[in-house]
Amino acid sequence: MTIDLPAALRQLKPERRRAPLTARAPHARLAVEGLPPGRQMVVPDTCVYIDNAAGRLPAAAQAVVDRAVQFHCAVCLGEISTGLGNADPAAARYRTTIAHYLNLIARMPAARIIVPDDDSWVRAGLMAGTLARTQGYRPFQRKALLNDALIYLAATRKGLPVLTQNHDFDLLWQLHPAGTVIFY
């Protein structure tokens, strides 16, 4: 077992976090528009897959996705699968949506799928719990935040940035600034 709860508590210091964190202004964060030209390595957050499938991905983010070496987090694949399981089979786009994600996941190289390890689960729990307390999140938000923390930590352990539009990643980044988040 590689869980080191004492080290995680020392590093994250949840007891020192009493006041809510403030999300940084968009100009104070790393944005897709500020990336150097060329090929990036990224871990797309679930919102990237969804926005891309819906044709809502902004042009700058689409350019990064199109030229990036993408690594895929198993947590995102679980979130996508939850959405597919929850989709209405009677909906007009049901089969098209299922086919899109079947094709997408089938094309993902196994060597580029990252999975949070057991220590990441503990750290993600501490991070999500700390933010839930300080930000006043409701129970349903805590579960989504835990998934976000798992994605962030899995990418961080591999030295990869997360590509997202989710502002909770800015708060996670403030709690544990070892990773990188690119916003669109």
pLDDT tens string 67-120:
999 999 999 999 999 999 999 999 999 999 999 999 999 999 999 999 999 999
Q: What is the reported pTM?
A: 0.94
Q: Kindly state whether residue 57 falls inside one of the protein's structural domains.
A: yes
User: What residue type is assigned to position 184 of the chain?
Assistant: Y
DSSP letter, residue 160: -
Q: Domain range spanning residue 58?
A: 30-183
Q: Kindly state whether residue 23 falls inside one of the protein's structural domains.
A: no
Which residue, 152, 93, 160, 112, is CA-closest to 128? Answer: 152
CB 28 within 8 A of CB 145: no
| 29: helix, strand or coil | coil
Q: Kindly state whether residue 130 falls inside one of the protein's structural domains.
A: yes
Domain count, the chain: 1
Q: Kindly state whether residue 17 falls inside one of the protein's structural domains.
A: no
Q: Kindly state whether residue 134 falls inside one of the protein's structural domains.
A: yes
CB 64 within 8 A of CB 32: yes
Q: Kindly state whether residue 117 falls inside one of the protein's structural domains.
A: yes
Q: Kindly state whether residue 53 falls inside one of the protein's structural domains.
A: yes
> CATH no. for residue 174?
3.40.50.1010
- CA–CA gap between residue 107 and residue 114 (Å, rounded): 15
For residue 2, pLDDT over 90 is answered with no
Q: What is the pLDDT at residue 150?
A: 98
For residue 123, pLDDT over 80 is answered with yes
CB 71 within 8 A of CB 108: no
Percent of the chain residues topping a pLDDT of 70 = 99
